[in-house]
């Protein structure tokens, strides 16, 4: 009896510690989000002032180079803060109700949004979707963000490749819907592969990547009870495998 009570008290303590820890995390998230929001507003104003000055400065004027530098750096900072806000928002994304949606529909939406870049860069998209098996209970906006991040990364990786292909395969794997997105791009060095899901890890030139894309993807997929796995070979290409519980699997 005494032992049972001890055990019960222990469990209670553990759950209280967990609750306090998660409240602390939530409070610091809110603080960071408010700060980020204020910084974004401030930097957007700076960008407006810089662009105003740029418009009234001739290209030959030495100050134009400095203003262009200021414009580029301000835009870079705004992007970092925008991605940070998106990363924090994923945790509190309570508002979007899950619905039954097909992964194929979401991926087609992403390809449509990226169609002008795909066309301009001469990338071939090879899709293999069997009919009617890809429905998932999902927060459609969040899952669209996942596929958009992964396909944008694939396009970036293909920029210097001879062979420019993105393959998308969807199939059922037991209680999951498996989406595989494979590119023939530059691939990922072995030492980087272990780090790609870390927030702020990016191999892209300064100003081009904040390194939040894949960490946001992983958070969203985990929230859906799914899994995201990456395999890559330098110089050959990269494959992302995303598993999401199927509508039937969820019961």
CB of 123 to ligand ATP, least distance (A): 12
Inter-axis angle of helices 62-91 and 2-55, nearest 10: 160
Report the chain's C-alpha Rg in angstroms.
22
Please report the beta strands in 147-209, taking only residues with DSSP state E, as ranges in sequence order: 165-173, 176-183
Under the binding rule (CB under 6 A), the answer on residue 57 touching ligand ATP is no
User: Which of 74, 102, 142, 153 is in the footprint of Mg ion by CB under 5 A?
Assistant: 153
Q: Which is nearer to Mg ion, 209 or 226 (CB)?
A: 209
User: Which of 139, 177, 209, 243 is in the footprint of ligand ATP by CB under 6 A?
Assistant: 209
Number of Cβ atoms within 10 Å of the Cβ of 156: 17
Q: Which is nearer to ligand ATP, 240 or 245 (CB)?
A: 240
**Stretch of residues binding ligand ATP (CB under 6 A), selected from 32-40, 59-67, 68-76, 207-215:** 207-215
d(CA 158, CA 149): 14
Contact of 246 with 135, CB cutoff 8 Å: yes
User: Which of 50, 123, 143, 196 is in the footprint of ligand ATP by CB under 6 A?
Assistant: 196
**Stretch of residues binding ligand ATP (CB under 6 A), selected from 42-50, 62-70, 159-167, 200-208:** 200-208
Size of the site for ligand ATP (CB under 6 A): 24
Q: Which is nearer to ligand ATP, 111 or 201 (CB)?
A: 201
User: Which of 8, 63, 92, 204 is in the footprint of ligand ATP by CB under 6 A?
Assistant: 204
Using CA atoms of 36, 113, 128, 240 in order, give the dihedral in degrees to the nearest 10: -20
Paired tokens of 48? 């407006």
Under the binding rule (CB under 6 A), the answer on residue 238 touching ligand ATP is yes
Paired tokens of 98? 């899950």
Under the binding rule (CB under 6 A), the answer on residue 213 touching ligand ATP is yes
Helix, strand and coil in the chain, % to nearest 5: 55, 20, 25
**Stretch of residues binding ligand ATP (CB under 6 A), selected from 20-28, 135-143, 163-171, 202-210:** 202-210
Angle at CA of residue 229, ends 89 and 235, nearest 5°:
115
């Amino acid at each position: 009896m005494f032992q049972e009570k001890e055990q019960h008290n222990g469990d209670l303590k553990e759950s209280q510690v967990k609750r306090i820890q998660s409240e602390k995390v939530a409070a610091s998230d809110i603080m960071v989000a408010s700060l980020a929001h204020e910084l974004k507003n401030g930097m957007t104003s700076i960008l407006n002032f810089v662009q105003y000055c740029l418009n009234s400065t001739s290209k030959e004027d030495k100050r134009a180079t400095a203003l262009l530098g200021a414009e580029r750096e301000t835009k870079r900072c705004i992007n970092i803060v925008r991605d940070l806000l998106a990363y924090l928002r994923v945790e509190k994304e309570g508002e979007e109700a899950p619905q039954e949606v097909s992964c194929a529909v979401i991926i087609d939406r992403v390809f449509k949004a990226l169609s002008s870049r795909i066309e301009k860069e001469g990338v071939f998209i090879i899709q293999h979707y069997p009919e009617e098996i890809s429905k998932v209970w999902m927060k459609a906006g969040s899952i669209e963000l996942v596929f958009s991040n992964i396909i944008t990364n694939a396009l970036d990786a293909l920029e210097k490749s001879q062979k420019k292909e993105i393959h998308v395969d969807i199939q059922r794997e037991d209680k999951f819907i498996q989406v595989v997105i494979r590119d023939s791009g530059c691939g990922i060095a072995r030492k980087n592969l272990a780090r790609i899901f870390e927030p702020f890890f990016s191999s892209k030139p300064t100003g081009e990547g904040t390194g939040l894309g894949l960490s946001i993807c992983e958070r969203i997929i985990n929230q859906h009870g799914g899994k995201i796995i990456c395999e890559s070979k330098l110089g050959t290409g990269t494959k992302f495998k995303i598993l999401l519980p199927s509508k039937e699997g969820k019961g």
